[in-house]
Amino acid sequence: MSYLNGNKFSLSENSGFSSLSTFDLRPSITESNYILVKLTGPLDRSKKRILSELHIQVQQFLGDNTFKCRYEPTDIDRIREQDFIENVQVLSPLLKLPPSLKTQSDYEFHDEPKSVDLVLHQAADKSVEALMQEISQITGISPENMSVRADSSIIRAQVSPKDLLEIAKIDSVGAIEEVHNLTLLNNVARDIIHADIGDSGVGSPTYYKGKGQVVTVADTGFDMGDKANTHPAFANRVRDLIPVGRTNLTSDTNGHGTHVCGSVLGNGKSDAMGGSIQGAAPEATLVVQALLTDDGKLFGSSGKTLGDLLRDAYENHESRIHTNSWGPEWDWRGQLPYNNASEELDNFVWSHQDLVVCFAAGNSGRAATPKGHIGAQAAAKNCITVGSCENLRSSRDYTCQVYDAKGLVKGDPDKISGFSSRGPTREGRIKPDIVAPGGMILSTASRAIQPISTFGKSDDKLWQFLSGTSMATPLVAGCVAVLREMLIANGLPNPSAALLKALLINGAVDTGNKRELQGFGRVDLARSMILKGKTLNRDFLEAEVADEDLKDQFTTSFNMDRYMDASTPSATLKVTMVYTDVAGALLQNNLNLSATVEIPGQDRRVRYGNMGEQENIDPAPSDGVNTVEQIVWKNLKREATVAFNVAVGGTMMADVQPFALVWSVEIDPEVEQ
């Protein structure tokens, strides 16, 4: 099955063209420069060369050996003549409309007017100005009432549903997406994630606190909106405050943003609330992009997009960590797919591979859904999507209990918060990536408003409790800052986002919940740290594979006795591969991880990324969905030799694909003395 803009379809000769054959709205090849091409097998180097010679520009992999392509010539038969091509069709306008903008019949649209983003194709033929005039002729809307976004790649307008199909027929329009309202989705928490880590392990004097790292928080605003007059937990560490939602205003009249900032990098104390209160990276530097509008919404009429925020943080503030505790409101029609917001994020990180972007999974965990909740920005491949587990203080909105000022009712960090949005994504991808405490989090309160007591009463007006994946996400961003500081201090000047994500995920603790709830587990900073010359049971590497003969796979090997002494009878090996992929709902560069174990006198055994304990399968299984793959192998002996292999597993749109590998060897609990 193939996917485009949330639509499932097939170009297989024996299945027809999905429901689109019933209402054949496809333009002729003389009217469109965009086609769908289905191959008989994977796209290899020789096929790439032939397609290029045919003047076919392959733009995106859609699944099932099907690709969206740009093709300017009008002779489509010469494409069909190629023996490796199963089918070719001109792109149908119906595939530009997501299911949420269509009813059961492809022609019956909802009556309610829609605010939509008209996403242009790559290399669109017409200028934005010309397209706005054409849209105006269809809709009667003046171009002055439209806005241009994302480097002139998106036109936003309020459109009558009856006009959507006509707009979809414009060849330069690649997708039409409904605009959804955005919503806002710590001392105890530091203990749970083991943020106090020094050169001798957990609980030793903390060497790494995020010093030298610039973290950008895109949220409601910051405290009083003044870099010089800050909440005491941020003294002398606010680098810049950028107004986005309101002209020249960055104060936090909501309270959400200031609380989030404190969870990332706050450093304060309160005698009334138990003493020291710190975020995960209490020496990092802060940049805040204030999104709140005068009417309490996010972004407003600023015209800014997520891509604009990422670019500003990266280019103007030298920030390599960007955290976001907001996302689309839950839609009663169900889970949102990977969309232009997801693609914008993935595009930016693909071209800036040292930028880590964190996104809250969402707070729709109680909403009825046949599949999952996570979509849009949080469904992007190249971000760290964060769910929420319980705190040692339970969340009031989860248990409906009354707490005293110090939150004496305790929760269980191995339980996933009831509000935390579930995965997988609509494309089947494992999300969230990781979970962190998000219930009853104590952090900084904005001095621009009265204290908030919704989630518990604080005895100190400078500190307040909040709950949500919004609170879990900044803790993870702070952990990234600490890991980045550690890597730089140990000789890696520019760590990749893939490596930082792999370190976090490999160090995560399995809570015993399903993947769709916990992702790869609860963040544990101590288990993610690799201290040069001191951490003897964890390691990492960065490498790449290329779409070339002899370079399309990478192998590294070691003996288990490298990480196990003679007194250790058995141990558990965990290895995690992460890579940053080209933008697209499906994998554009498909890498697969495998691990081989050989023990003298025994048969060779092979396991595969995300395939559990399955072994020695022929042909080898391939995870064609995830950019994160993990293998956990218990009860390995010292005499075992281990080899990790990363190989191109099918589609490879780019010429080169970097990746990160992180692994650890832990003594099996049952044999610990």
DSSP characters for 370-422? Answer: SS----GGGG-TTSEEEEEE--SSPPHHHH-----TT--S---TTSBPTTSPP
Which tens digits make up the pLDDT trace of 226-241? Answer: 999 999 999 999 999 9
Q: How far apart are CA 397 and CA 191, in angstroms?
A: 22
Residue 150: predicted pLDDT = 78
Of 119-123, 259-263, 549-553, 601-605, where does mean pLDDT reach its minimum? Answer: 549-553
Q: Are 17 and 11 in contact (CB under 8 A)?
A: yes
Phi first, then psi, for residue 207 (nearest 5°) are -80, -35
Q: How far apart are CA 380 and CA 386, in angstroms?
A: 12
Strand stretches in 246-383, DSSP E: 267-270, 275-278, 285-290, 321-324, 326-328, 356-360
Q: Of 76, 29, 34, nearest to 54 (Cα)?
A: 76
464-514 pLDDT, tens digit per residue, is: 988 889 999 999 999 999 999 999 999 999 999 999 999 999 999 999 999
What pLDDT sits at residue 577? 99
* DSSP H/E element including 341: helix 340-351
What sign for the dihedral angle of Cα 543, 546, 550, 555?
A: positive
Q: Which residues pair with 384 in a beta bridge?
A: 358
Whether 256 is catalytic is: yes
Confidence label for 330 from pLDDT (cuts 50, 70 and 90): confident
- Catalytic choice (121, 256, 259, 322): 256
What's the whole-number mean pLDDT along residues 98-103?
A: 79
The helix (run of H) or strand (run of E) holding residue 265 is helix 256-265
Question: 618 an active-site residue?
Answer: no
**Mean pLDDT for the stretch of residues 274-298:** 94
Query: What HEC string does 138-171 produce?
Result: HHCCCHHHCEEECCCCEEEEEECHHHHHHHHCCC
User: For residue range 594-624, what is the model confidence (pLDDT) as tens digits?
Assistant: 999 999 989 999 999 999 999 998 888 889 9
Question: pLDDT tens across 42-86, in order?
Answer: 898 889 999 999 999 999 999 999 999 999 999 999 999 999 999
Cβ(224)–Cβ(447) below 8 Å: yes
Q: Which residues of 196-210 are buried (b: 16+ CB within 10 A; e: fewer)?
A: bbbeeebeeebbbbb
Which of 103-117, 217-231, 373-387 is predicted with the least confidence, judged by mean pLDDT? 103-117
> For residues 21 and 254, what is the distance between their CA atoms, to the nearest angstrom?
51
The span from the CA of 167 to the CA of 217, in Å, is: 36
> What is the reported pLDDT for 407?
34
pLDDT at 200: 55
Range from 270-274, 417-421, 525-529 carrying the lowest mean pLDDT:
270-274
Q: What is the pLDDT of residues 412-446, one digit of tens each?
A: 788 898 899 999 999 999 999 999 998 878 899 99
State mean pLDDT over 354-370. 90
pTM comes to: 0.91
pLDDT at 165: 92
- Judged against a pLDDT cut of 60, whether residue 591 lies above it is answered with yes
602, 532 Cβ separation under 8 angstroms: no
Distance between CA atoms of 611 and 615, rounded to whole angstroms?
Answer: 9
pLDDT number for residue 574 = 98
- Alpha helix segments (H runs only) across 421-552: 469-489, 497-507, 515-518, 525-528
pLDDT in the model for residue 626: 98
Give Cβ neighbours of residue 18 (< 8 Å, ≥ 6 apart).
Answer: 7, 8, 9, 10
Report yes or no: 164 and 109 within 8 Å, Cβ to Cβ.
Answer: yes
Which of 2, 420, 458, 470 does the annotation list as catalytic?
Answer: 470
Q: Estimate to the nearest angstrom the gap between the alpha carbon of 246 and the chain centroid.
A: 27
Q: Which pLDDT value is given to residue 28? A: 84
The whole-number pLDDT of residue 273 equals 85
Greater pLDDT, 128 or 456? 128
470 an active-site residue? yes
Half-sphere exposure of 9 (CA within 13 A, CB side): 29
Q: DSSP 3-state assignment of 671? A: helix
Confidence of residue 670 (pLDDT cuts 50, 70, 90): low
- pLDDT confidence of residue 566: 87
pLDDT at 40 (0 to 100): 94
Q: If you write DSSP's letter for every residue of 181-199 in order, what string do you get?
A: -EEE--HHHHHHTT--EET
Using the predicted structure, report yes or no on whether residue 284 has a pLDDT greater than 90: yes
Residues 6+ apart with CB under 8 A from 114: 101, 158, 159, 160, 161, 164, 178, 179
587 touches 61 (CB < 8 A): yes
The span from the CA of 387 to the CA of 430, in Å, is 12
SS3 content of the chain, % helix, strand, coil (to 5): 20, 30, 50
Q: Can you tell me the mean pLDDT for 557-579?
A: 94
Evaluate if residue 390 carries a pLDDT over 60: yes
Whether the predicted pLDDT of 138 surpasses 70: yes
**pLDDT score recorded for residue 625:** 95
Annotated catalytic residue, options 117, 163, 219, 312:
219
pLDDT: which is higher, 626 or 27: 626
Nearest one of 118, 537, 298, 185 to 309, comparing CA atoms: 298
Residue reference for tokens 């232009």: 340
The alpha carbon torsion through 176, 182, 188, 192 (nearest 10 deg) reads: -10
Q: What is the pairing mode between strands 34-39 and 2-4?
A: unpaired
Distances (CA, A) of 494 to 216, 580, 607: 17, 15, 32
Indicate whether 657 pLDDT > 70.
Answer: yes
> Which tokens is 128 given?
């934005």
CA distances from 519 to 263, 412, 516, 549 (A): 21, 17, 6, 35
Cα 430 from Cα 424, distance rounded (Å)? 5
pLDDT tens by residue, 287-321: 999 999 999 999 877 789 999 999 999 999 999 99
Per-residue pLDDT tens digits for 528-540: 999 888 889 999 9
Split at pLDDT 50, 70, 90, the class of 110 is low
Amino acid present at 291: L
How many angstroms separate the CA atoms of 189 and 278, rounded?
9
Q: What is the pLDDT of residue 432?
A: 98
Instruction: Tell me the pLDDT of the chain averaged across its residues.
Output: 88
- Residue 401 is predicted with a pLDDT of 32
Instruction: Specify burial of residue 49 (Cβ count, 10 A radius: 0-12, 13-18, 19+).
Output: exposed
Amino acid at 191: D
* Sign of the CA dihedral with 102 first, then 105, 110, and 113 last: positive
| pLDDT value of position 533 | 84
pLDDT of residue 125: 84
Indicate if the pLDDT at residue 109 is higher than 80.
no
